[in-house]
Amino acid sequence: MKKLAKEDLELMSYNDIANILLTEKPNQTTLEVFQKIVEMLELPKKVLENKIGEFYTALTNDKRFILLEDGTWDLRQNHKTAGLAKEEDIDDFDEDIEDYEDQEAEKEVEDSYDDDQDDDVSDVTEEYKNLVIVDEEDLEQN
């Protein structure tokens, strides 16, 4: 990090500088990383107080970083595990959920159609329950 001039650092985002810092020394707290950034850029201490929350949010939203259980940050690339879901797996899971939801919605439509049918049949049955079926021959005789 010492190799980069202040002018070069000023052109970089805080997250990019944090990426370099965590490459050199992993497992640092938000405060430790941001203090180093403020010092390197020779920013006033007020920046540290006013922007540390934004910096934390930025790290949280940047997929390069991972917040560890002990409250320190590290690079996600240092924590690849076979047990962790890959982004493609998550996308596949999301598609499976959408397919399931679509199927459930279709079932609801079918069920509501079947319910409507049953209601119509019971209404018709009630209306015509007193009717009698008569053959044509019986009608002609009268």
CATH of the domain at 55: 1.10.10.1250
CB distance 74 to 27 below 8 Å: yes
How many folded domains does the chain comprise? 2
Between 14-24 and 45-61, two packed helices, what is the crossing angle to 10 degrees?
A: 80
Tens of pLDDT, residue by residue over 108-133, are 766 665 555 555 566 666 777 777 77
Phi-psi sector, 27: left (phi>0), alpha (psi -120 to 50), beta: left
Please indicate, yes or no, whether residues 53 and 114 belong to a single structural domain of this protein.
no
- Residue 82 has a pLDDT of 47
Q: What's the Cα-to-Cα distance from 67 to each of 3, 70, 88, 101, 104, rounded to whole Å?
A: 27, 8, 21, 33, 37
Is there a domain that residue 142 lies in? no
Q: Per mean pLDDT, which of 14-23, 93-102, 108-117 is the most reliable?
A: 14-23
Q: pTM (2 decimals)?
A: 0.55
**Shared domain check, 64 and 104:** no
Q: Which among 97, 94, 25, 15 is positioned nearest to 60, based on CA atoms? A: 15
- The domain containing residue 97 runs over which residues? 87-128
Rounded Cα distance between 61 and 35, Å, is 20
Q: Is the pLDDT of residue 40 over 60?
A: yes
> Which of residues 92 and 49 earns the better pLDDT score?
49
92 domain residue, yes or no: yes
Query: pLDDT class for 101, splitting at 50, 70, 90?
Result: confident
Q: Which residues have a Cβ under 8 Å from the Cβ of 73 and sit 6 or more positions away?
A: 18, 22, 27, 28, 29, 30, 33, 59, 65, 66, 67
Instruction: Give yes or no: residues 49 and 27 share one domain.
Output: yes
Q: Indicate whether 16 pLDDT > 90.
A: yes
Which residue matches tokens 């917040």?
Answer: 67
